[in-house]
């Protein structure tokens, strides 16, 4: 898969995305494959909800994953901090294709190091999030970096956690100003529901944007990536079907994560897609994936949360099917 084709090809617009989509769907066998795939996915969902195979192993996995909750602030800080540092040192505005000036680069580098070290985490996260929001209003292509926005919002909620310089300074100066506020984890009680929701919106939004914006709206670049890496020699189908497959997979994966549908499984699939792209496409910058890897890991630990299709739809549906 090629999540960010504009990093490895010359950025150009595409004249007729709808026409391209219709042409790709008109390829021999494409509709049959899509229909068969949809039926298989629906059947697997219903079968999983009804019989819950490997339920004991799944329960043990979830219990062990939940035991990693104490590391969530660290995971979030590391992933988004490295993205900010990499962006700042590369003189880019979050997205590797958007160059920026020295002042904005310094802001990204500085806030990234603060997050990485765990020092003044909440102010640093809010400053960086504000910079993203302002930049997004002028450069909407930053929608492909929604994972960064979600991670920064989560960092502001979770705080520094442990290990962090904030935690060490609190131990050294327990009565210092702001010591409690700096290290208190707000993700307790009802805040537990907001963290997975924000991660889902950021990570799922980034995947969906990669499929819709990066593949469909600028499909010429996606076709150029297929040609550049000779992907048709790996799977001998028309280049248009390669791009169509990438559009559908990444968009469906993004929508599933946003809705919280089989959240942990979707996050693992996303992690696998990112890993495949990282090793298959040597020109794709690593920094573009770090935040996605981190947010996928958070969802593997937490699951979808209260406001997810897993909790609101699949779980009740499975209970009803099992009672019949």
Q: What is the pLDDT of residue 41?
A: 82
- Locate tokens 């990570």: which residue? 203
Provide the domain limits for residue 161.
73-139+155-185
8 shares its domain with 92 = no
**Region 265-284 average pLDDT:** 82
Q: How far apart are the first and last CA of the chain?
A: 41
Going 252 to 274 to 127 to 66, the CA torsion angle's sign is positive
Residue 62 falls inside a structural domain: no
Phi, psi of 92 (to 5 degrees): -125, 155
180 shares its domain with 203 = no
Residue 319 falls inside a structural domain: yes
Q: Other C-beta atoms within 10 Å of 290: how many?
A: 23
At 188-200, the pLDDT tens digits run 555 678 899 999 9
**Region 176-183 average pLDDT:** 56
314 shares its domain with 284 = yes
221 shares its domain with 269 = yes
Query: 68, 139, 116: which is closest to 290 by C-alpha?
Result: 116
117 shares its domain with 230 = no
Number of domains composing the chain: 2
- Higher-scoring residue by pLDDT: 95, 277: 95
At 14-27, the pLDDT tens digits run 677 788 877 777 77
206 shares its domain with 237 = yes
- Which region, left, alpha or beta, applies to residue 31 given φ > 0 means left and ψ of -120 to 50 means alpha? alpha
Inter-CA distances, 225 with 138, 212, 233, 284, Å: 27, 16, 13, 11
Going 69 to 73 to 74 to 79, the CA torsion angle's sign is positive
Residue 48 falls inside a structural domain: no
Residue 51 falls inside a structural domain: no
Cβ burial of 21 (10 Å; 0-12, 13-18, 19+) is middle
Cβ burial of 113 (10 Å; 0-12, 13-18, 19+) is middle
120 shares its domain with 77 = yes
DSSP 201: H
26 shares its domain with 99 = no
**Does the pLDDT of residue 125 top 80, yes or no?**
yes
176 shares its domain with 298 = no
Residue 59 falls inside a structural domain: no
Rounded-to-integer distance, Cα 35 and Cα 193, Å: 35
Residue 58 falls inside a structural domain: no
Q: Do residues 112 and 84 touch, judged by C-beta distance below 8 A?
A: yes
- Which region, left, alpha or beta, applies to residue 120 given φ > 0 means left and ψ of -120 to 50 means alpha? left
Residue 192 β-bridge partners: none
127 shares its domain with 171 = yes
- Locate tokens 């209003």: which residue? 137
Percentage, residues of the chain above pLDDT 90: 44
At 132-158, the pLDDT tens digits run 999 999 999 999 999 999 999 999 999
Going 36 to 38 to 42 to 45, the CA torsion angle's sign is positive
Torsion of the alpha carbons at 308, 192, 294 and 55, rounded to the nearest 10: -60
Residue 8 falls inside a structural domain: yes
Q: Do residues 2 and 281 touch, judged by C-beta distance below 8 A?
A: yes
Residue 56 falls inside a structural domain: no
Q: Residue 96 CA to chain centroid, in angstroms?
A: 16
pLDDT band at 1 (very low <50, low <70, confident <90, very high): very low
Rounded-to-integer distance, Cα 136 and Cα 3, Å: 20
DSSP 8: T
84 shares its domain with 35 = no
224 shares its domain with 165 = no
Rounded-to-integer distance, Cα 303 and Cα 83, Å: 23
Q: Do residues 8 and 288 touch, judged by C-beta distance below 8 A?
A: no
């Amino acid at each position: 898969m090629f999540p960010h084709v504009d990093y490895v090809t010359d950025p150009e617009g595409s004249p007729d995305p709808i026409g391209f989509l219709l042409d790709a769907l008109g390829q021999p066998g494409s509709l049959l494959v899509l229909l068969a795939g949809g039926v298989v996915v629906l059947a697997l969902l219903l079968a999983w909800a009804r019989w819950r195979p490997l339920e004991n192993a799944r329960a043990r996995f979830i219990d062990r994953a939940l035991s990693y909750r104490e590391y969530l602030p660290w995971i979030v800080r590391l992933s988004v901090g490295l993205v900010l540092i990499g962006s700042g040192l590369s003189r880019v505005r979050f997205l590797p294709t958007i160059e920026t000036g020295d002042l904005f680069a310094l802001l990204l580098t500085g806030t990234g190091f603060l997050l990485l070290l765990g020092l003044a985490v909440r102010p640093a996260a809010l400053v960086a999030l504000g910079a993203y929001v302002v930049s997004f209003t002028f450069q909407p292509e930053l929608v492909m970096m929604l994972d960064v926005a979600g991670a920064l919002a989560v960092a502001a909620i979770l705080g520094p956690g442990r290990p962090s310089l904030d935690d060490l300074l609190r131990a050294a100066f327990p009565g210092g100003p702001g010591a409690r506020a700096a290290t208190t984890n707000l993700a307790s009680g009802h805040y537990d529901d907001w963290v997975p929701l924000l991660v889902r919106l950021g990570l799922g939004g980034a995947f969906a944007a990669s499929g819709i914006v990066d593949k469909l709206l600028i499909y010429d670049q996606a076709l150029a990536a297929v040609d550049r890496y000779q992907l048709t020699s790996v799977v001998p189908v028309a280049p248009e079907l390669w791009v169509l497959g990438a559009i559908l997979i990444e968009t469906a994966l993004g929508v599933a994560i946003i809705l919280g549908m089989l959240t942990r499984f979707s996050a693992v699939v996303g992690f696998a897609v990112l890993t495949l792209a990282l090793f298959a496409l040597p020109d794709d910058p690593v920094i573009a994936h770090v935040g996605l890897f981190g947010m996928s890991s958070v969802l593997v630990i937490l699951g979808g949360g209260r406001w997810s299709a897993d909790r609101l739809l699949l779980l009740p549906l499975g209970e009803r099917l099992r009672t019949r």
